[in-house]
Structure 1
Amino acid sequence: MPVHGPKRSTAAAALAALTLVITAACDSSDGGKTPPTTARADVLAVKIDNVAAARPPTGLEKADIVYVEQVEAGLSRILAAYSSDVPSVIGPVRSARETDLELLRQFDEPTLAYSGAQSALRPSIEAAPLEALPPSKAPDAYFRSGDRAAPHNLYLRPGKIPHASNGVNAAEDIGLRFAAPPPGGTPVNGRTVSYPSARFAFTWAADRDQWLVSMDGTPARTASGDRLGAATVVLQEVDVQPSRFRDRGGNTSPFSATVGSGSATVLRDGKSYDVAWERNTARSATGFTIRDGEPMTFATGQVWIVLVPR
């Protein structure tokens, strides 16, 4: 006979209680490392050109996180993650790399805007847990600017792609904590990072509470002429090794490994902090801790994470 009345209600209540227990157990399985947000960040990641002919960038100052990575011939490129504030135009957009795919596993199925990729890398992009968005998939969202030469003139209009920010900060979404600085730290005016063919300098400006960015010895600026600056800069030491991919010129693409552990330097509020970083799997977020094992805190504002060869 079918179950009616009180028996069905009792069974439903028992099932609901069991569901709550299972959900609570799943939520606590990561040891509390998942940030307690009510919604995950809807991340738009854009691969941005960074040679001299591509500067100044457009919209970079609105990114929640700016990743800097080494590419072929010792040059650099930027992977910018947007969620809390997405500008109307971003660029110039360039091609994706293997390093980007591992970095983006920290986010929940982000959208990746890029100009293209080596044919050998495309299967990896298609298999990655992200929404790949090259110009071929959204031709109306990309345009070429007439103020500079190709290939440094491709730009993205985020308003013309299927992406809507929910206002959640991408940095907070992967567990970075914005709070008062920890005790200690060493006063410092600036730090410099060098790749074989690129150089970045971060200089503390107390009047702006920012680390002003310079690239290749020149002050870095936005498209409107303002100085680029970061509230927090992370110099993350990683293993950089040759990948199996090459560019059109035959240069081997380097791969920066961001799964593992190592040392890092965090710059905030005019001080330098020695920290440790750890990321156990590609699906987990990177944690930064000070000597006592407590999480490193970050200053409110944009975070730059520079992947430094160790």
Structure 2
Amino acid sequence: MTTVGTERGARRRRGRAAGIALTVVLTVGLAAGCTTSDGPRDDGRGTAGESPARPGDGPPVLTVKIDNAPAARPQTGLDAADVVYTEQVEGGSSRLIAVYATGLPESVGPVRSARESDLELLRQFDRPLLAYSGAQSKLKPLIEQAPLEAVTPESEPNAYTRDPSRAAPHNLYLRPGQLMDEPPGEAALTTGFRFGPAPADGEPRNDLTVRYPAARFTFTWSGAQDRWLVSMDGSPALTAEGERLAPATVVVQYVTVRPSGFRDFLGNTTPYTETVGSGEATVLRDGRAWEVNWKRTAAEDGTSFTTDSGEPVNFARGQVWVVYAKAP
């Protein structure tokens, strides 16, 4: 696998070549190269009836594995992500993967270790950058074989910094500007998500809680903010500036969570979250909930969401959280 270091020059050239095409998106949808806590603006990411095209040889999306232990909160840069995935890890706790395409924050973290199921999830993107810190020795060959570019403190030391006010290992942060001159743009978001008017019907919903064995996420509708306010383990989830994390759309996707062949240093089995396949999901937007179906035919594909009648489900403009929950 080619490392980020040897590819950086080519990637920067691709980024500059894409600059003209990105100007309209960045001017309308971004301020100072970064999204706000309201998420990406109405930037045309997949109009109703359309999904973003695959990026081909364009600049890659940036994905970051983020710590979600209580000692890691509040995290930095989560509010600037286009998509946030939550997954179960050892001991029933949780980790996050943040995806950046339309904006780059100054700092993201705390950064933590990768898992086997991350590799399947990220196959939907074209050679994404995966920023993480640490992985089991048996997992490293799988990461090296995966179609992605690993960004670690060892491969890109200048891209990382530690916060001396926090205790390790909850104090490692990525500086995206050391990796990319500018964000890759909406074309890199090959998630399969659609954005547009809400589907018909939908049940009014004020809140929803997803429980892992040792963690829980609650999303509470705020009509004033037109967003879902995030709580983690019973406490408000905040940005580093003290604002609430507040996505426009929340997807609770019911998937198979099975044991993997890996264990942590305590002997706990690492869960494997299967994101290829099909099943049921709950979509929250606009203060309402829809019970829908999801399908991802292959790892290279994005995920489609449809009603029982086969109507594609549009998401609200702004940040999307996808919570992977064990199917009943």
TM-score w.r.t. structure 2 length? Answer: 0.82
- Equivalent position SS for 1:73: helix
Q: What is the distance in 1 between the residues matched to 2:274 and 2:54? A: 28
What is the 5 A alignment of 1:122-161? 122-161=140-179
- For residues 37 and 128 of structure 1, do their structure 2 counterparts lie closer, same or farther at Cα, with a shift above 3 Å needed? closer
Q: What is the distance in 2 between the residues matched to 1:240 and 1:110? A: 24
- 2:235 is equivalent to residue 218 of structure 1: yes
Paired AA for residue 117 in structure 1: A
What is the 5 A alignment of 1:48-197? 48-162=66-180, 164-168=182-186, 170-171=188-189, 173-197=190-214
Alpha-carbon shift at residue 266 of structure 1 (Å): 0.2
Partner of 1:265: 282
Query: What's the CA shift string for 1:163-191, capped at 9, x where partnerless?
Result: 642322654x3221110101110001010
Q: What is the distance in 2 between the residues matched to 1:138 and 1:281? A: 31
Paired AA for residue 293 in structure 1: G
Q: Is the 8 A contact 2:238 2:244 kept in 1?
A: yes
Alpha-carbon shift at residue 37 of structure 1 (Å): 6.7
Q: What is the distance in 1 between the residues matched to 2:122 and 2:53? A: 20
Q: Is the 8 A contact 1:33 1:175 kept in 2?
A: no
Q: What is the distance in 2 between the residues matched to 1:178 and 1:170? A: 15
Q: Which sits farther off after the overlay, 89-98 or 160-169?
A: 160-169
**Unmatched tracts of structure 1, length 5 or more:** 1-31
Q: Is the 8 A contact 2:307 2:313 kept in 1?
A: yes
- Equivalent position SS for 2:124: coil
**Equivalent residue for 1:45, pick from 33, 38, 63:** 63
Aligned residues with identical type, % of pairs:
58
Q: What is the distance in 2 between the residues matched to 1:194 and 1:34? A: 31
Partner of 1:308: 325
Query: What's the CA shift string for 1:268-298, capped at 9, x where partnerless?
Result: 0000001100111111111111122121100
- 2:250 is equivalent to residue 233 of structure 1: yes
- 2:52 is equivalent to residue 35 of structure 1: yes
Alpha-carbon shift at residue 146 of structure 1 (Å): 1.1
Q: What is the distance in 1 between the residues matched to 2:287 and 2:129? A: 34
Query: What's the CA shift string for 1:217-258, capped at 9, x where partnerless?
Result: 000000000000110000000000000011122111000000
Paired AA for residue 107 in structure 1: F
Q: What is the distance in 1 between the residues matched to 2:185 and 2:115? A: 27
Paired AA for residue 97 in structure 1: R
Q: Is the 8 A contact 1:65 1:170 kept in 2?
A: no
- 2:199 is equivalent to residue 199 of structure 1: no
- Equivalent position SS for 2:127: coil
Q: What is the distance in 2 between the residues matched to 1:59 and 1:122? A: 26
RMSD: 1.7
- For residues 95 and 38 of structure 1, do their structure 2 counterparts lie closer, same or farther at Cα, with a shift above 3 Å needed? closer
**Unmatched tracts of structure 2, length 5 or more:** 1-48
- For residues 134 and 160 of structure 1, do their structure 2 counterparts lie closer, same or farther at Cα, with a shift above 3 Å needed? same
- Equivalent position SS for 1:229: coil
Q: Is the 8 A contact 1:230 1:302 kept in 2?
A: yes
Q: What is the distance in 2 between the residues matched to 1:117 and 1:33? A: 37
Query: What's the CA shift string for 1:187-236, capped at 9, x where partnerless?
Result: 01010000000010000000101000000000000000000011000000
Q: What is the distance in 2 between the residues matched to 1:63 and 1:158? A: 12
Partner of 1:248: 265
Length, aligned pairs only: 278
Q: What is the distance in 2 between the residues matched to 1:281 and 1:99? A: 14
- Equivalent position SS for 2:98: strand
TM-score w.r.t. structure 1 length? Answer: 0.86
- For residues 126 and 297 of structure 1, do their structure 2 counterparts lie closer, same or farther at Cα, with a shift above 3 Å needed? same
Larger Rg: 1
Alpha-carbon shift at residue 147 of structure 1 (Å): 1.6
Paired AA for residue 302 in structure 2: A
Q: What is the distance in 1 between the residues matched to 2:195 and 2:109? A: 27
Alpha-carbon shift at residue 134 of structure 1 (Å): 1.0
Q: What is the distance in 1 between the residues matched to 2:134 and 2:61? A: 19
Name segments (4+ residues, structure 1) moved above 3 Å: 32-41
